[in-house]
A = this chain, B = another copy of it.
Amino acid sequence: MTSTDPSDATPAADDLAARLRRELGPEAVPTVHEARYRGDRAVPGAADLRFVLVLPRDVAGVQTALRVAHETGTPVVPRGGGSGPSGGATAVAGGIVLGLEHLSAIREIDPLDEVAVVGAGALTADLSAALAPHGFFYAPDPASATLSTIGGNIATNAGGLHCAKYGVTRESVLGLEAVLADGTLLRTGHRSIKGVTGLDLTQLLIGSEGTLAIIVAATVRIRPLPVARRTVLARFTSSVGAAAGVGAITRSPVRPAATELIDAGALADIEAHTGATMADGDGAVLLLELDGYGVDEQTADLLDVLTGAGGSVTVIEDEAEAERLWELRRTSRAAGAGRARLGEDVAVPKSHLAELLTELEAIGRRHGVRTSAVAHAGDGNLHPAFSLPGVPEDPAGQLPAPILDAADELVRAALELGGTISGEHGIGTAKQQWLDLELSPASRGLQRRLKDAFDPQHLLNPGKAL
């Protein structure tokens, strides 16, 4: 990336930047910065957006930045890896973008307590890599794990491929260090596995998208690496057939660690991108991982279940071949790059996945929009994508009306089926239009009062999430 933007270019911003440089040192407040700091993966931020980039080197630096913001009434946008898909880290005009990338230390790994203590800026994949030599892993594994940070994952309660078995980020966080709007350092939670003292501020901060406090470190739970892993590929003649396969698994006692559904559109994207064919024609696949003890018994039961549901099942014994298939699954996100395209993130009660996939195809036909979908099917979380193949991507992120209309219909369909407008990506700015469809006035009123309780000046990530 090249340095493109002056970091601050108005008199007020000059004053603010000068003060921050005095208090934090010049290296923490760069005079120019890369364009990426303006936005995230979904909402890049306007090219003429002016803000002050602050990259504190430690927790005390975050406290100083927030104290200055508090005294000057300056909005603060916290930033992890900038990989968010909902506009949660997009800069605010005249504000501070507070990048936490230097708070990346893995402070402690304690296998006997089954915890790690990690700075918010650590990449999620780096934590798992550091744990492996100890025989442990960190369960939350969003597709962005090599780009996104522990702090960002916690701020959005990130999901991933293994949530159905191991839980989302929320279920792996025991305690937090967070800086409040006035610069006070708050410690929440506990290092013990259990603890019920007082209102659970840890849980309230998880998923709050930087609107309540700035998470600077976390005590997370770690788990022993499974004794065995097995990948299974099941081909079905349609995505509805694959969804029925998921239902058949639910009726059995097998619970795969990962159950990924890839529909015909996504398979075609993957093939166009890589040349690899995972299924023929209009078929869809389930790519599954079993792990832990008794993996042979699990495999036998799963094979029975999926064959009974009409699947053509292959057990992948070769580790390299298994890794190739999982890499193809991960590729699906990049496969549509370059054309006008919108990825969504909804979740429905598991049994309604087939209806949602049927509706997705109907919506695509109605709007003349190409659709594709991958799903964390084990927990009903669908990532549909809408694209117009002939239309190139707009650098400013503007999307053609048929894509926006199709996405709107899909989100409403998920709600009709008892689902939610965001399974794991968060609201940011991109999904605010649908908030009132899901949350009641009583809920929104309470959320505003909670925001006031934490951040009475509304300086923390204003305009996001709530």
Q: A residues within 8 Å of B by Cβ?
A: 110-115, 135, 156-157, 159, 163-164, 167-168, 170-171, 180, 184-188, 190-201, 203-204, 206-208, 211-212, 223-227, 247, 250-253, 255, 292-295, 297-298, 347-352, 376, 379-381, 418-427, 431, 435, 438-440, 442-444, 446-447, 449-454, 465-466
Contact = CB atoms under 8 A, between A and B. Distances in A.
Contact of A452 (B163, B185, B453): B453
Given A112-B247, A453-B453, 12 more contacts: A110-B351, A156-B196, A164-B193, A180-B446, A190-B419, A192-B350, A192-B419, A193-B381, A198-B435, A198-B465, A199-B465, A293-B298
Nearest to A451: B199
B453 A420 contact: no
Contact of A112 (B135, B350, B439, B449): B350
Dominant secondary structure at the A interface: loop
Contact of A347 (B184, B192, B204): B192
A224 B253 contact: yes
A110 B247 CA distance: 12
A194 B163 contact: yes
A370 B199 CA distance: 33
Contact of A453 (B350, B425, B449): B449
A204 B200 contact: yes
**Which among A164, A170, A450 has the greatest number of chain B C-beta atoms within 10 A?**
A450
**Which among A185, A203, A438, A449 has the greatest number of chain B C-beta atoms within 10 A?**
A203
A62 to B, nearest CB: 15
Contact of A224 (B191, B252, B293, B419): B252
10 contacts: A113-B350, A156-B196, A184-B442, A186-B443, A190-B347, A192-B419, A196-B425, A199-B204, A199-B447, A294-B294
A180 B440 CA distance: 13
Given A196-B423, A424-B194, A186 B442 contact: yes
Given A190-B419, A194-B381, A171 B167 contact: yes
A439 B198 contact: yes
B252 A191 contact: no
